[in-house]
Amino acid sequence: MNEGAVESTFCGYIAIVGRPNVGKSTLLNQILEQKISITSKKAQTTRHQILGVKTEGDYQFIYVDTPGIHRGETKALNQVLNQSSSTALKDADIIVLVVEALKWTDTDAYVLEQIKASKAPKILALNKIDQVKDKTRLLPYIEKVAALCDFDSVIPMSAESGEQVEALEKELAKRLPQGLHMFPEDQVTDRSVRFMAAEIIREKIMRQMGDEIPYNVAVEIEKFKHEGGILRINGLIWVEREGQKKIVIGTAGERLKRIGTDARKDIEQLLDTKVMLELWVKVKSGWSDNLRALKSLGYDETD
């Protein structure tokens, strides 16, 4: 391809960062207009870097949905998640810091310190403005947070409703570097459908568990095979203790059945095919604080 082609196309990595549960995954799904990143109201929902790719003409945006950055956590899982986010920051061409309207925490301040050293353009996305009843409180808050860093742009928005998300995308387009596109224009993510199926199952677990168990839950796909027009998926749900296993399974297996039914529907919608999903729950003691166990379960992205 000639040099002129490079100069007429734009492509770059955009790291979406912030503390847990500020709406990073919801924002990515809104931008892509489809669900590739799981969401719930709990921390630790996103555990992997997930690339979301959006191509519009000469512009290709490669979004990196990072795990929420945790402050002061010592478990191996939390350290791996933080390292994953740090790697995304180093590679980013643009950084989007997502914070919640009228809710600035010590962890937000910690995340801000992590991005200040980057020379990449920084955009402050002030999320959940639709939940603010007294809009007169927004401007003072925006001015307060914007003064903490030399942001290139500040966008009040709602990832849930889509309000002002297009304005954010326009700001990103202005700062996207020139370069060849790295993905086919119809590709939406770098993740396999097998990975996406595991993430959907994990989302259903987190949504149904409430605060009954800690988030020491992982999902492993053992079988993913098309047989006679049906996609057969066998999934293993790993927990750390026998008591957690009983809670996930529920009385007479009812909770596990609900998790499977909800996950199957979403996987069928994602892949547009009939799915037969079977789930089992097993105990792997201490997996979330064991680097070898984490790697065996797919948490090896810092290699």
Residue-wise pLDDT tens digits, 213-253: 545 678 888 999 999 889 999 999 988 888 889 999 999 99
Q: Which CATH architecture has domain 3-175?
A: 3-Layer(aba) Sandwich (3.40)
pLDDT in tens, 160-187: 999 999 999 999 999 999 999 999 998 8
H helices of the chain, in order, are 3-8, 24-32, 76-91, 106-116, 138-146, 165-175, 193-209, 242-249, 254-271, 291-296
pLDDT at 217: 78
Taking only the tens place, the pLDDT of each residue in 132-151 is 999 999 999 999 999 999 99
Q: Using CA of residue 27, residue 148, residue 68, residue 63, what is the dihedral sign?
A: positive
**pLDDT of 302:** 42
Tokens for 65?
A: 């949905």
The gap from C-alpha 191 to its chain's centroid, in whole angstroms, comes to 12
Task: Provide the pLDDT for residue 207.
Answer: 81
Which pLDDT tens digit goes with each residue over 90-126? 789 999 999 999 999 998 998 898 888 889 999 999 9
Q: Please provide the average confidence, as pLDDT, over all residues in the chain.
A: 82
Greater confidence, 30 or 240?
30
Whether the predicted pLDDT of 51 surpasses 90: no
Where helices occur in 74-227 by DSSP H, the ranges are 76-91, 106-116, 138-146, 165-175, 193-209
CA torsion through residues 147, 150, 156, 161, sign = negative
For residue 154, the SS3 value is strand
Q: Residue 206: pLDDT band by 50, 70, 90 thresholds?
A: confident
Nearest to 13 by CA among 69, 62, 58, 77: 62
- Enter the pTM of the model: 0.68
pLDDT exceeds cutoff 80 at 88 = no
Q: State the pLDDT at residue 39.
A: 55
With vertex at residue 123, the alpha carbon angle to CA 60 and CA 102, rounded to the nearest 5 degrees, is 135
3-175 and 193-296, same CATH topology:
no
CATH fold of 193-296, please?
Answer: GMP Synthetase; Chain A, domain 3 (3.30.300)
User: Where are the domains positioned within the chain?
Assistant: 3-175, 193-296
pLDDT at 292 over 60: no
Give the span between the Cα atoms of 127 and 22, in whole angstroms: 7
- Residues 111/97, Cβ–Cβ less than 8 Å: yes
